[in-house]
Structure 1
């Protein structure tokens, strides 16, 4: 069945998201490993993705962990360096689908303010046909609720949707709801999947 809409994750699908790589370059791998082991950065980021204020959340964590204060503040102050660069081939696929009249949705774990900031660097983030951003929805993948909200809002469900994400647990929940899925491991594979689905020609997917 040919999908009626295409759903993109953003981090590591349209934009590289590599905090470890950033910190390795700035403070060195050993200090980065020590920091990541002693500070709940994942929990901090999860709070932002669930709608907590970007600046307030990160700065509060920095003040609560004074031995890593400056490094934690970098998560905010130099955030765009962690969320870079764009994955150009994936962006081309998004635009090619839209030129063919295929609706393209985002479904992303992303904070409210951080998303708006990212869009000043990556204008394509404001070009989806529908946005499903966890910070606004107050729920993150892989909770089934975020998928249900997309279905309820769009009126599409099951095989009407084809979804790509770089995390297997997020793909698994979509698949359990009958969505067509693709585990993103690079834009070439995603391009081939869209050709297979009949949404793009090989030339359009290049």
Structure 2
């Protein structure tokens, strides 16, 4: 597989919904494990509170136990149920994702992940034999929000990638399923593409790389 552009030297991937399958939101995770009493109708204040808790969790500022304790009353479920939902959220690598990374590496392109994630999910993806295992060490670099201390789309997390890899601006191509994260990458000069949720993400990446 050839480089997408002559100046690109690094391909950066979000993990969830790009290389790794995840549930289609909180309610989908509840459904998958049989929790029917979770509150789906959070008001604006509760939604903002939930977002703030997730941001602290993904930034490594709170642990899983504290996350569960804070989320449980918002969702009307027990902390134990929150832990079950957390465990069920990942659904394993997309077919062809590992092979894609290997092909890019073999073609001379460096690879990296840049994921808003947490210590619990990182451990699941890093544990050989777990259904959610993804060989993160096959990527040249691994960047995770909970280890960096900030989240996409904050500019400093993209700058952290540049500092850690030595690549910058148009030398980087980035794939993410969230428009706001892609827009933030474009603002600092990265080639960046939105991966649509209703299609094969690996095939979408390949199409973008061929253009």
TM-score by length of 2: 0.80
Whose strand fraction is larger, Structure 1's or Structure 2's?
A: 2
2:37 aligned with 1:44, yes or no?
A: no
SS, match of residue 40 in structure 2: helix
Which consecutive unaligned segments of at least 5 residues does structure 2 have? none
> Over aligned residue pairs, what C-alpha RMSD do you find?
2.5
Match of 2:147 in 1: 136
Summarize deviations over 1:90-149 as a string: whole Å, max 9, x none. 332122212323211111111134312332131323332111111111110000010111
What is the CA–CA distance in structure 2 between the aligned matches of 1:91 and 1:16, rounded to whole Å? 13
Structure 1: distance between partners of 2:19 and 2:75: 34
- Alignment-derived partner of residue 102 in structure 2: 95
Q: Which runs of 5+ in 1 are unaligned?
A: 197-206
Q: Which sits farther off after the overlay, 128-137 or 98-107?
A: 98-107
Q: Identify which of 169, 174, 177 aligns with 1:163.
A: 174
Higher helix share: 1
Q: In the comparison of the two structures, how many residue pairs are matched? A: 193
TM-score normalized with structure 1 length: 0.82
1:1-206 map, 5 Å: 1-2=5-6, 3-18=8-23, 19-25=26-32, 26-28=34-36, 31-34=38-41, 40-61=49-70, 65=73, 68-70=76-78, 72-120=79-127, 121=130, 122-185=133-196, 186-196=201-211
